[in-house]
Structure 1
């Protein structure tokens, strides 16, 4: 298991999510706790880099940008974007 923590900016972005997005975001957090490498590389030229992205929402209206800190078994959520 990995611990999942949110940057203060990401916490504000989560607080601003619409109601229908909250449950989907919670699913992302659960996924990050067990399979953080399942997201796509933020920089496609560096596919093994620890900065990752994971879309969420019924039409992928949301995007979580996060960093995997493998040596600490920790995931740091840096940004949460909602376009819906």
Structure 2
């Protein structure tokens, strides 16, 4: 599901999506835990600009980030 969302981004969001992926590559811990009651659960969210939100799984012991979902805001 995330792959299809990433392959067809709205043109207005392309730059901010690219910046968000740079953040995930360099400092994936910057995202917010998806569930505040379980801050070390490994699932995080990272907003990108005013365009959307990336939900991802951080497997720090494997030095790996798996994007689970990209949610686009209505860009009209």
Q: What is the TM-score normalised by the length of structure 1? A: 0.81
Structure 2 alignment gaps of length 5 or more: none
2:21 is the alignment partner of 1:29: yes
2:68 is the alignment partner of 1:78: yes
In the TM superposition, structure 1's runs of 4+ consecutive aligned residues that sit over 4 Å from their partners are none
**CA separation in 1, counterparts of 2:43 and 2:58?**
7
2:50 is the alignment partner of 1:42: no
Structure 1 alignment gaps of length 5 or more: 1-8
Q: What is the TM-score normalised by the length of structure 2? A: 0.89
Give a deviation string over 1:46-82, Cα, whole Å, max 9, x none: 112210000112x3x3000000111110100010000
Note the aligned Cα RMSD (angstroms). Answer: 1.0
| Alignment equivalent of 2:59, drawn from 66, 69, 73 | 69
